[in-house]
Every structure is written in C-alpha cells, then in structure tokens.
Chains A and B, each alone.
Chain A
Amino acid sequence: MPETLELLKKLISAPGLSGYEGPVSQLVAEAWEAITDELQTSRVGSLQGLQCGTGTDPRPKILLATHMDAIGLMVSGYAGDCLRVTSVGGVDHRVLPGQSVTVHGREDLPGLVAQPPANLIPGGDKKKPVAMQYLLVDVGLNAEELRQKVRVGDLISFAQEPLEMGENTVAGHSLDNRVSVVALTLALEDLRDRSHAWDVWAVATAQEEETMAGAKTSAYDLRPELAVAVDVTFGEGPGAPKHKAYPLGEGVTLGWGPTVHPVLHAEFKKIAQELEIPFALEPLPRRSGTDADALQLSTVGIPTMVVSIPLRYMHTPVEMVSLKDIKRAGRLLAEFVARLPLDYMDTLTWKESVSLS
C-alpha cells in the first residue's frame, strides 16, 4: 500500500501534458524498468514496455493501454505582465480562477490564474464566469522579464499538491489517468512473478486527451491480438448524475457496448466474481471516450475491453480516487492476462446474441 501511494503521488507531481509527456514518461520508465523485458518510446511519445510470455514463439500479444497525459494550459500570448492562455485537453474555465499553477518557461515559474475584473472585459458581468480567452496567468514578473522567461507555447501545469484523505483516498490533479498507470504497474509487478503464456505490451499512451494519437499509433505498431484500455470513470458525488456514476472505493467498472467485445466482457466479469473483486457494469451505448475507441479500430480490428476506476471531480485539480479501486483494477488485469491460454483467439467468436449472462 505505501508503495502504491508513493508511486501515485510521484506520478501526479510530474508534468506531462498531452503532447509533452516526457517528464512523466521518464518516471513511468523507472517504475517499469525492472518489471519489463524491453522498453521503448513510440514516435509520438507513448512508452511501450514488453513483458515476454512463456508460450512458444510467435506468441500472441495483448496491449494494455493507460494514458499518461494530463490536461492543463498553454501560454498563447502576453497581456502586460500577465500571460494569456488556452487549454490542453478539456478544461472547464470555471474551475480556473485562483488556481495555483506552474509555468514551464525557461525555468519553472510558480504563478496563479487571475480573474480580471468584469469592467475590463468586453461584455463583462460580475455574476458570469470569465471565459478562457480573458483569463490571465500572473507569475509576478514584470513585462520585460516575462518575455525573457516565457514564450508562446510554453506549458502550464496545475500546482495542487497531492492530498491524502485517510488511508485509501487521494485527491489531486492528473489522477485522470495516472491512477490507471499505477494500476497497470501493479499488474506488471504481479505478472512478473507468475507464468503467463502471452506477451504483454504495457503502453502508457500519449495525447489521449487531444487526439488519441498514442493509442492509435501504438496499436498499429504493435499489432496486438487483444487490447484493454484502463481509464477513469465518473465517481458518485456532487454534480455526477447517479445513474452515470459509480461509488468510490466500491470497485471498478467493466465497460459494455459497441467498443467492447462481449466475450472479453464476460471473461472479465467471471474473473472478478471468482476473485471477489467488486465491480459494476458500465453501459457505454455508443463509444467509450477512452483509448479503447482507437485501439478497437486499428488495422483489421482488435477485440477490446474497457476497465475503469471511479474518480470524483474529473478534469479538475482536485480529482479524488480510492487506492482500493486502483489495486483492484491492477489485480483484475493481471489475472486476466495470466489466464489467457495460447489458443484463446480460436475461442473468441461472435455469437448470435451478445446479451449479458
């Protein structure tokens, strides 16, 4: 438990906005070094780690994808001694005023998001939120210093420190989706000590929040027979409709819908029941909104599964998650992989009805 927490805190404290995953990728590589047989960085920045199976060569491969990129801001221009910004990934401008941030200029600069007074904004209204284009970031430098140290295109990360809220609960930014990277790491550790027939490609994907470029390209490159995406889903809490949210600490969700191969879903469900890992069914009527959407559509098509970890306040700097659910996701992944027989693909067929059993 303490190691899981420490790894998670370390990962969410590293910058790694979409398209600029280098710093967090470095940390993930350190965590995976001893538990993989090969590590490589893809051409768009995803980290790909191979754990060889014991089956005879050529072995089938499973791709386990967790995106490591985070949302944040980017400098788009200057406004006197302040910066104008735009978002990287989906950021609600209403959560920004007053946030502490770090501007990654020629050096890291602490700063905060300023909400200019209504009378200085076209159509400004004291009661209305200030649109992204009018928000500013103030790093306390004068205009001249600012232009020396910060240029257009520099990144801005949230500076919220990780918060431990009891034994099993953590809050902070970028938990979407570093929690899944931790779950995948736990799975790799587990699998390291066990015999598994299949090759495992663990991929910390890049740019999920923007274009899914990482998942698309790694799936093409690695040509896995199966793929699983692990991501976060809505945790039950303020603002999340109850029928679309899942309680924190009470288990993972197993995706169900067009993105998910029904036989894979059934297999995950069976294993969860056997291991007494609590789970909920998550209906995904159209698409999953995760890397799975891209994985499934790679080349001739890949049977794909989605496992999710409930998380409160998604895409805010105070996302909240239960460590228990992270560990459950890791264990479930490992167990699924360990049980895959070499001839699994021969048994994976489409039945007339894909109804849930």
Chain B
Amino acid sequence: MKSLIKKFAQIPGPSGYENQIRAAVRAEVEPCANEVIVDALGNLIVRWGEKGPDGLRMMLSAHLDEIGVIATHVDKKGFVRFAGLGGVHPAYCVGGHVRFLNGTRGVISFEKESGLKKMPSLDKLFIDVGATSPGDCPVGVGDVAVFARKYQELGEKIVTKALDDRIGVVVLVEALRQLHEENLDSPHELYFVFSTQEEVGLRGAGTSAYHINPDLGLSVDVTSTGDTPKGSKMEVRLGEGPAIKVRDGGMLSDPRVVDWMVSTAEEHEIPCQLEILKGGTTDARAIQVTRAGVPVGCLSVPCRYVHSPSEMVDYGDVEDSVRLLVALLSDQVPQLEGEE
C-alpha cells in the first residue's frame, strides 16, 4: 500500500485537471470493477457487486483533486502571478516549489515591500520559473500547477503533498481490491467514486451522487488533528485510528450512519475516534442534499498540516481505515432497515 500512496501522491491533479491521476487510478481499479465510467465532470465511477435483498446502493467518495495554483499573468520580467485553486494559504506557499502540468518548475517568493513581519496575501506572491520576459516564459495565463514535495517516511508517519485526498483514494482502492480479490461477500451494490473538483466546492461529488442516486453515502477524506504544539483543541490525534465524523464546518453526519460506523469499529476491535471539525467539509455534504436526500457519513484519516505541501498521516491509521471500510462494506447496515 505504501508504494501506491507514493505513486498516487506524486501524480499532479489540481482541481479541474485530474486527467493524469484519474488514468492512474483507473489502471489500478479496472481489473476489480464490474463497470467503469468517466462522467461529464470527469469523475471516475467504479461499480462493484450486486445489490442483495438486504443490501443498499452505496456511494463511496474520495476526491482525486488536490489544491494547486493557476497563472493569472506573466509580467514584463517573466514573473508569474497566480491565484489559488482550492484553499491555498500564503503561509504554506513562500519558499515552496511548484510544478506546472506542462512540466515547468518554479519557486514561490513575494513582494518584499511590506517586509517579512506580516504574512503577505496571495496577490503579493509570484512564481519564478527562471524566465526573463513573457516571450521566454514557458507558462501562460490559465496554466495550472501543483505544489511539489517528495514522499518520505518518518518512522510510522508518511509525509508528502496531496495526501488530501490521495490517502482516501488509496483507502478506497485498497478496500475495493480486498473485497474483490478475497472474494468477500457484500450485500451491497457499491459505487467507488473518485471525484473531481472537491477542493473548489465538492462539485464532482454532487453531480456523481445525482447520477448514482445512492441509498447511503460515505466520503473518505482527511481531517485535521489537535495534537500539535498550540494547535486547535480537537479530540483527534495521529495514530489513534480512523476518525468517524460527527460534524464538520459544512455538514452534520446522519446519526444513524455514525452509530453504525462506531459499532462496526467496536465489533471488529478497530481503534477509532469521533471527529468534530470546525472548518472545512467533504464530499459527504454534497451527497447528503442530492435528490430526495441521502444518509451520509465520513471516514476520516487523521492528517497533520492539511493543505500544506507536507501533509502527514500515520500508516497504522491508514491500515485501520481500510479495515474499517472493508468491515463496513461487507455487512448489512442495520440502522437503516425499516426505513421507508
């Protein structure tokens, strides 16, 4: 699984430009799938299993895209101005490396006018790609780039860019593979959705949920932690197991889904934590309000430094996330029975 994390995290896939990562994921999942679709917004939708009498049509969503930048202007001296694609924070930009989809590399610096004391806003930042004029600049308005950072293992921890949400993508791929290769029984018709444009507003998840019309939805994404110096007082820590989301900044999980996830974790003795995230949200929000409504939950992989180029997860948490997801998908969903 580590090699898959490394491979997926390194492939660029900023919001709206998920072609390369989609192709890579498709190659991994195709052998396991009953059906593979790429829809109008570029979501990769993989169907697996048949709906049994006690089963549900279930949508599982992990987003393909990562935050990135888009060039807005090349100035007379060849410096590239840019805007964020998704939640890009200036604090994580300065001194960083980016790679454009056309292969051009660049470094980010900032207008020195206001000095070093105050964090400059994004429009005071620029990318230096080594050009001297618009004429020799290999980047133009509208070109997109991702942050560059190599893959590293620090003990049990894994650090690289784009773990938000390539780690969720890996968890879905791995769960699908286990279900398929180990011939596990599932009463459900499962749709593994590798969604697009999550970082700019859950856009792919909303349209794919409409297409699938599921009985239940789960997103698999990262969540922040409360275990760093003077960090937020959040009851989620790295290495203490997958987090089961109760609420985040944009959604309240369906309480029945939360109970089902917690009791499944307890039954299989998988460590887990309850999550309340104050800012941010996931694909589950978009799924919940689709059509006549969908009961949703979210399985979160705890992750430090989210939206920085050095996102960090614990490998044990990742393994437990896969175990929990497989356990959830292999069995009936008791709480939703009897629903009209």
Contact = CB atoms under 8 A, between A and B. Distances in A.
Contact of A43 (B250, B285, B292): B292
Contacts of A216: 289, 293
A20 B255 CA distance: 7
Interface of B: 226, 232-235, 246-247, 250-255, 258, 274-276, 278, 285, 288-289, 291-295, 339-340
A212 B294 CA distance: 14
A133 B247 contact: no
A151 interface: yes
Given A18-B252, A86-B278, A217 B289 contact: yes
A217 B250 contact: no
B289 A84 contact: no
B340 A44 contact: no
Nearest to A77: B235
Contacts of B254: 19, 44
Interface in A4-61: 18-20, 40-44
A267 interface: no
Given A43-B294, A220-B293, 9 more contacts: A43-B293, A77-B234, A86-B247, A86-B278, A153-B247, A211-B289, A213-B289, A213-B293, A216-B293
B276 A88 contact: no
A289 to B, nearest CB: 17
Given A18-B252, A84-B233, A74 B246 contact: yes
A41 B285 contact: no
How many residues of A sit at the interface, in one of the four size bands? 20 to 34
A153 B233 contact: no
15 contacts: A19-B252, A19-B253, A42-B292, A43-B292, A76-B233, A76-B276, A88-B247, A152-B235, A210-B252, A214-B293, A216-B293, A217-B291, A220-B291, A221-B291, A221-B293
A78 interface: yes
Contacts of A220: 291-293
Nearest to A152: B274
B250 A211 contact: yes
Given A40-B340, A74-B247, A210-B252, A153 B274 contact: yes
Contacts of B292: 42-43, 217-218, 220-221
Contact of B288 (A88, A211, A218): A211
A152 B300 CA distance: 15
B278 A19 contact: no
A38 B275 CA distance: 37
B233 A42 contact: no
A66 interface: no
